[in-house]
Structure 1
Amino acid sequence: MSVRRAAFALVAALLLAAPAWAVRNVTDPGAPRALPAEGPVQVSWHDPAGFTEIRRSRNRAMARRGDWVAELARHLRQRAQARLPTGERLEVVLVDIARAGEYEAAPDPALGDVRIYRDVYPPAIELSFRRLDADGRVRAEGTRRLRDPGYLLHGASGGDPLRFEKRLLDDWLARELPR
């Protein structure tokens, strides 16, 4: 078998072995619109095709890439579960997301577009929520518009491409569910 055929066979095998639930495009019609129901925190989201991140992006193909909505939802669930008092439940719907930064043309055309972080591209998340007590009574509910125009001043470092949005959610949870 030639090296080219062996490489092709390996790539094909890897693609076939990928989990069926893996989302390559956040707007795929078959992509989930909620995390699986488990624990006291439920997180769902509107169709990402309508999110500001997709609608206003200068590179919609790059903005749709990956499963960043579900990653933000998992982060929100994990952090909320740690803060939520025993017996309470939290239901959150991610209504709109505008990620920090924007895709701009790289100085070298061979690099394509890259996400550039500038103060004119702050992260913003709109969400609605219901917080229920152990008896199922609503303790709090509402809509929140989270935005951090000074996101670059807070020193979020690291390679996590969602670090600014995750911090925005963490800050909201600290206000909504104080310890």
Structure 2
Amino acid sequence: MKFSSFAPTLLVGLLLAAPAAASSDVTDPKAPRSLPAEGRVDVSWTDPAQFSEIRQSNNRWEARRGDWVQQIAKYVRKRAEQRLPEGDRMSVTINDIRRAGQFEPWRGANVSSTRFVRDIYPPRIELSFTLTGADGRVIAQGERKLTDLAFLMNTPTAGSSDNLRYEKRLIDDWLSKEFKRPDA
């Protein structure tokens, strides 16, 4: 195959791949701001471009990459559904996220996309929720600011490769304190 006939094919391939790369930006205005309605827990989130994770990041481009907001929302839904009594419903809005760790660009270009997890960069999540009973009346509601300043000392996470393990532990801690299991 000659290069002159290969170049247009390569160009078309790159153009088709571009939207896929662009969709991995959590601040994309066309990206959804809620999980699809299903189950007993609805989870939505405010504009991720306003999240502390993006605004206060030392590498905003890297902080915007991925689908971490949806992963956290799915985790909230999954874990909350396990704690709700039959018939109850919950609506959760994630208002802010600051992931554990930080990018430290002063360490050099070779590690500019590396998140350094140290105790001075604890995870934080702000959310609001409404819990309604099977009869439709509000059982509980409020706003919560979740944080764990000792996140590196709590529950060993050695060997865990989940990039959101600290944020997920915040969610688990909140749910276990706020909502007792129905079977307990």
Task: Provide the identity percentage.
Answer: 51
What is the aligned partner in structure 2 of residue 90 from structure 1?
Answer: 90
State the shift of 1:175 in Å: 1.1
Aligned position for 2:143 = 143
Query: Which structure 1 segments of 5+ residues have no match?
Result: none
Q: Which runs of 4+ in 1 moved over 4 A?
A: 9-14
Distance 1:119 1:110, change over 3 A: closer
Distance (whole Å) between structure 1 residues aligned to residue 128 and residue 12 of structure 2: 45
Aligned AA (1:163):
R
1:177 is the counterpart of 2:179: yes
Q: Are 2:130 and 1:124 equivalent residues in the alignment?
A: no
**Counterpart amino acid of 1:161?**
N
1:156/1:2 Cα in 2 relative to 1: closer, same or farther (>3 Å)?
farther
Q: TM-score normalized by structure 2?
A: 0.86
Matched length = 177
Flag the structure with larger Rg. 2
TM-score using structure 1 length: 0.88
CA RMSD of aligned residues (A): 2.5
The match for 2:70 is: 70
Cα pair distance change 1:2/1:108, threshold 3 Å: farther
Change (3 A) 1:16 1:98: closer
Amino acid in the other structure paired with 1:95: N
Q: Which runs of 5+ in 2 are unaligned?
A: none
Distance 2:108 2:19 in 1: 35
- Which amino acid is the alignment partner of residue 148 of structure 1? D
Which residue pairs with 2:79 in the alignment? 79
Structure 1 residue 113 displacement after superposition: 3.0
Contact 1:93 1:128 in 2 (8 A): yes
Residues 1:87 and 1:148: Cα distance change in structure 2 (over 3 Å)? same
Judge conservation of contact 1:102–1:121 (CA < 8 Å) in 2.
yes
Distance 1:11 1:162 in 2: 32
Q: 1:59 to 1:13 in 2, by over 3 A?
A: closer
Cα distance per residue 1:42-72 (max 9 Å; x no partner): 0000000111111100110011111111110
SS at structure 2 position matched to 1:153: coil
| Amino acid corresponding to residue 45 of structure 1 in structure 2 | W
8 Å Cα contact 1:88/1:133 also seen in 2: yes
Partner of 2:54: 54
